[in-house]
């Protein structure tokens, strides 16, 4: 491998860079970012080898776009305009329908692969980049048939070398399902954090009484609003649907408590305990 371009040198892009450099010490990693301080930091941390800009993209073998999903809508067409016929470009965004629609008729559509690696942490920026982030993680690929065969192959080889499991979906199904298992979890955590913070004027009280259970449930409320706001905006319809169902379930649970129907409260929890089997597969 030769020239890898990372657009957005944060947690996601930076972690790709680190693993690719480990696999292919001969390759050169170029970074593009709107935040100059991030580029400098990525250079110093050895996440990238060199700063670059869009005019350099014609020498890229692989371009990885790892920026907020609203910015990807603007940046991807520009990237496709600049690359050679043999370059494979993929993004890593948490929404896939809008981005696939955006480039549907771009002359270089065949150079793009729509990708969503289910990997990350609640941290962000170049410092958050870590080795092995993608190992044993699921990578969802949408509209694979729209990408040139040889370029699909190159990207799949890379994902396989990184230790990822591949799943193919259409963008609509992706956005609908991911709203449940990812987007809703984030809102649930953010609003839990808000509820507790609003209530407790004296933070020492929270700090002292909260245990590892609270920490786990609210962990995602540390996530970046700059990354998540555009995701909720792009996936608005699906996310609102999940929120309606979640709120209804919470109201129903509350109603059972108000009715003193604690047998039903027990059953609600007992039926959901089944989540154990699902989680065992994830962790």
Subset of 242-271 contacting its own copies (CB under 8 A)? 242-247, 249-251, 253-254, 257-258, 260, 262, 265-271
Minimum separation from the CB atom of position 73 to its own copies (A)? 14
Work out which of 29, 138, 146, 161 binds its own copies, going by CB under 8 A. 138
Beta carbon nearer to its own copies, 150 or 165: 165
Contacts (Cβ under 8 Å, ≥6 apart) of 190? 220, 221, 223
Beta carbon nearer to its own copies, 26 or 277: 277
Which residues 78-97 are close enough to bind its own copies by CB under 8 A?
none
213 interacts with its own copies by CB under 8 A: yes
Which residues 151-190 are close enough to bind its own copies by CB under 8 A?
165, 167, 177-178, 180-182, 184-190
- Whether 166 and 113 have beta carbons less than 8 Å apart is answered as no
d(CA 160, CA 176): 26
Minimum separation from the CB atom of position 70 to its own copies (A)? 9
Beta carbon nearer to its own copies, 35 or 224: 224
Q: In what order do the strands lie in the sheet with 3-7?
A: 50-51, 28-32, 3-7, 62-65, 88-91, 112-117, 138-142, 165-169
201 interacts with its own copies by CB under 8 A: no
Work out which of 27, 118, 148, 156 binds its own copies, going by CB under 8 A. 118
Contacts (Cβ under 8 Å, ≥6 apart) of 42? 9, 14, 17, 31, 33, 48, 126, 129
Work out which of 79, 120, 144, 153 binds its own copies, going by CB under 8 A. 120
Minimum separation from the CB atom of position 2 to its own copies (A)? 31
Contacts (Cβ under 8 Å, ≥6 apart) of 77? 102, 103, 106
SS3 30: strand
- Segment contacting its own copies by CB under 8 A, of 44-52, 80-88, 148-156, 214-222: 214-222
64-to-8, 142, 152 alpha-carbon distances in Å:
8, 16, 14
Minimum separation from the CB atom of position 211 to its own copies (A)? 4
240 interacts with its own copies by CB under 8 A: yes
Torsion of CA 105, 106, 108, 109, to 10 degrees: -50
- Segment contacting its own copies by CB under 8 A, of 10-18, 24-32, 41-49, 118-126: 118-126
């Amino acid at each position: 491998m030769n020239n890898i371009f990372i657009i957005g040198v944060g947690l996601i892009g930076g972690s790709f860079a680190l693993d690719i450099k480990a696999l292919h010490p001969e390759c050169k990693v170029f970074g593009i970012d709107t935040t100059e301080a991030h580029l400098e930091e990525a250079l110093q941390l050895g996440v990238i080898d060199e700063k670059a800009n869009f005019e350099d993209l014609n020498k890229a073998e692989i371009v990885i776009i790892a920026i907020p999903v609203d910015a990807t809508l603007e940046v991807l067409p520009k990237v496709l305009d600049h690359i050679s016929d043999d370059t494979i470009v993929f993004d890593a965004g948490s929404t896939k329908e809008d981005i696939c629609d955006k480039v549907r008729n771009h002359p270089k559509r065949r150079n793009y692969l729509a990708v969503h690696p289910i990997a990350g942490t609640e941290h962000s920026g170049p410092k958050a980049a870590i080795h092995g982030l993608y190992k044993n993680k699921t990578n969802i690929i949408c509209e694979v048939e729209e990408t040139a065969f040889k370029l699909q192959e190159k990207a799949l080889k890379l994902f396989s070398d990184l230790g990822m499991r591949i799943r193919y979906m259409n963008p609509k199904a992706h956005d609908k399902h991911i709203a449940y298992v990812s987007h809703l979890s984030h809102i649930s955590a953010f609003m839990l954090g808000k509820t507790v913070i609003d209530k407790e004027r004296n933070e020492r009280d929270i700090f002292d009484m909260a245990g590892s259970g609270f920490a786990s449930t609210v962990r995602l409320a540390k996530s970046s609003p700059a990354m998540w706001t555009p995701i909720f905006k792009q996936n608005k319809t699906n996310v609102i649907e999940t929120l309606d169902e979640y709120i209804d379930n919470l109201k129903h649970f509350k109603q059972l408590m108000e009715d003193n129907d604690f047998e039903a409260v027990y059953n609600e929890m007992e039926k959901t305990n089944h989540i154990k089997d699902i989680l065992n597969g994830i962790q």
